[in-house]
Chains A and B, each alone.
Chain A
Amino acid sequence: MPLPRTRGTALRQQLAELRGPDVPAKALDARALAALAANPGCRRRAILDGAGVNKATLASALGSPSAFGQSQFALTRGNAFEAKVKADGGAELLRLVHEKLDRHAEPPVDARVPDLTAIGPEGRTARTALALREATEAYGAWTLLDHPMLALDVAGSPAFLEPDAVVVHPDGGWTVVEIKSFPMLDGSADPAKVGAAARQAAVYVLALEEVAARITVADVPAPEVGHQVLLVCPKDFSNLPTASAVDVRKQRAVTRRQLARLTRIQDIADALPEGTCFDPARPAEELTSAVESVPATYAPECLSACELAFHCRDRSRAAGAVTSLGRSVRAELGALTTVPDVLAAARGEAGDAADPTVAALRRAATLRAEALGAAACR
C-alpha cells in the first residue's frame, strides 16, 4: 500500500513537475539563499529558486541570457589565495581566528584538521556533524574543518552548503570563516562585497545552529555558534591574509525570515495554471507564457542579483512599468504605476486634479515646461 503523500512530498513532486521531467534540481547554495533577501517580494524568483530551476539556462532559453560570468583570472586568484590561507594545516587561518575573535584562548598549535571526505553530500554532511561533535568534545583543542558540508531545510528540501571553513574553539564554540579574494585596504573593504559575504556567512551560521541544536554533549547546552564570523581577505596589495570580525546578526535574522517565508512557495505553486513547466527544452513561446504566469517585481537592482533580470526588464519596460526606472521613482506617484498613466496625468489628459499625486505631477510638468521655455528663449 502506498504511503499517504504528506504536504511536503506533494510539494516536492509538484516542484519537480515544474522543473520538467529529467531536469535535475539546481542545488541552492549559500549565495542563492542569501540572494533571497535581494528581492523578497518577487514571486517569480521564489518559485523558480524553490523548484530548483536553473535560471541561467532558463534565461538563455527565453532569449535573454544572463550576463553573469566569472573571469578565470579571478577564479585562479581566489583559489590560490584560499590555498595560501589554509596552508600548513590552516596555521595562518587559526592564528587570525585567535587574534580577532578569541584572544584569551590558548594560541592554536597542532590544531586538529579532521578528514571530512565521504561519499555524496549526505555522507559529507553526516561526516561534518560527527567531526563537529568530536571537536566540541575535545575541550581545550582547536579544530579546523576545511570545507565542511552542512544541510539546511529550504521549503521542505535539503540544501547542501559548503563554507570555506568552520573553526571549533577550545571552549567548544564554533566560528564560520569566509575567505574572499577582494582586498582589505588599510583596514576597509568594498562594503557591497562585505555585505554579500556577511549574508552568505549568515546562511552558514543558520545551518550550523541546526547542527548545534542536535548535538548534546554530556548534558551541557548546545555549542554556541558565533554571530561574529571571520572574513579573511588579502591585505592591501599583497596576497598575505588579513581578517576582520563581522557581526552577522542582522543578516542572520533577515535570512531566517526569508527562509520561513519560502513556505509560501506552496501557495504560489497552487496558483499556477495546470501543466506549467519551466523545462528549458520547451519552445520559447511556451516558456515565456509559463514564466509570465508568475508575477515578478522587477527593479533595476535585479540586474546584479538575478539571472532572469534581462527578461524581466524587457517585460517590465514593455508594460510601461515606472519601477523599471528605479524603485524610488514610484515613491511620489501614488497609485500610478505606468509611464503612459503618469504622463497622461501630468499633461492633464487623465486623472482627478484633486488627487494630490495628479496635482503635484501637473505642477511639476508646468514648472518644468516653464523652466525649459525660459532657457530656450535665453
Chain B
Amino acid sequence: MLKTISLKSVLISGAVALTMAGQAYAFEPARSGECIAPANPGGGWDFTCRSVGKVLVDEGYFKGNVQTVNMTGAGGGVAFAHTVSKRDKDENLIVAASTATTTRLAQGQFPGMNADQVRWVGTLGADYGIIAVGKDSKYTSLKQVLDALKKDPSAVKFAGGSASGGWDHLKVLMTAQKAHVENLPKVRYLAYSGGSEALVQVVGGHVDAFTGDISEVKGFMDSGDLRVLAVLSEERLPAPYDSIPTAMEQGIDSVAPNWRGFYVPGNASKDSYDWWVKTMNELYTTQEWKDIMTKNGLMPFHKSGEEFTQFVKNQTLDIKILSQDIGLIK
C-alpha cells in the first residue's frame, strides 16, 4: 500500500513528490474512510465530500470506500460539535468546510467552539465572489457603485443568498471597506434563502445589485440579463469568465474566494494529519480532480497544512473584526 502510494506520487506530482517519495509515513489509513458533509445531499459540502471521496478511492488511497455522511444542522455547527466531542481522535475522518464555516466560527455561531479545536487540512479549489447588476442598471463598473456608496451608504441595495452577516453580505462590506466607504452598517443588504432567488430579484429590477459567487451567475450572464461588474479574485478567471474584470484592476484591493476544503479532528495523531495534508496535495494535482474542477466551475485555489491553518486564523480574525465593526456581534 505504502509503496504504491509513493510510486503514484512520483508519477503524478513530479518533482515535489519526488522529495517525499522515500519518506515512510507512520500512519496507514484504515480500509475505509468517512467524510462528513455538514448539510443535505445536493449542496456544496455534499459535492465536496462525494467528489473527493471518489478520487480518494479511484487513486487507491483507500482500498474500501470513502463514505459520505450528511450531518445537517446549524450551518455546519452540528457536524463541528460532533467532530469535537465524539470523534476527537478519529484518524480516518475528514469534514467538508468552506468560508461559511469560518464565518460562523468567527461570529460565535457555534456556541463554545472555536477554530483551534480541529486541524485544518487544506483547500481544493474555490468559487470566487462577484458583484453584478441587472442589464438596465445605470452602473457599468464597480467603481461607480462604490462612489455612489461613498456619497450615501444606502444608495445601492444588495441582494444575496446568505443570511445577514453571512459570506455574501461580508463580501460587499469588505469591498466597500477597501474602497473607504464610511458608515458600513448603513449599507443595505437583503438576505434571500438562496443565490438564485436573490438573482431573480436583481434581474427583475427590484433590487439594485447582486452579491454572490461566480458559479451562481452563469445562466443569467449567458442570457445577457446580468452585468457582472467585478470578480473578487487576484487574477482574471479562465474562459468563459475571462471578460470579467477583477476588483483589483479597478483599483479596489478586494479578494473573496469561497474556498472548499477539509478539517480533521483536533486530537488525531500528527502522523495521520501529515498523511491527509500530503494526500490532499497530491489529489489536487491529479487529472481526475482537475476535470471535476472544470466541470463544476471550481477555480484554482490550493492551500494546505500550516499555510492553510494560518489562512483560516487570519480569515476568522478579519471576519470577527468586520462583524464587530458593523455591530453584528459584540
Indicate, yes or no, whether A interacts with B: no
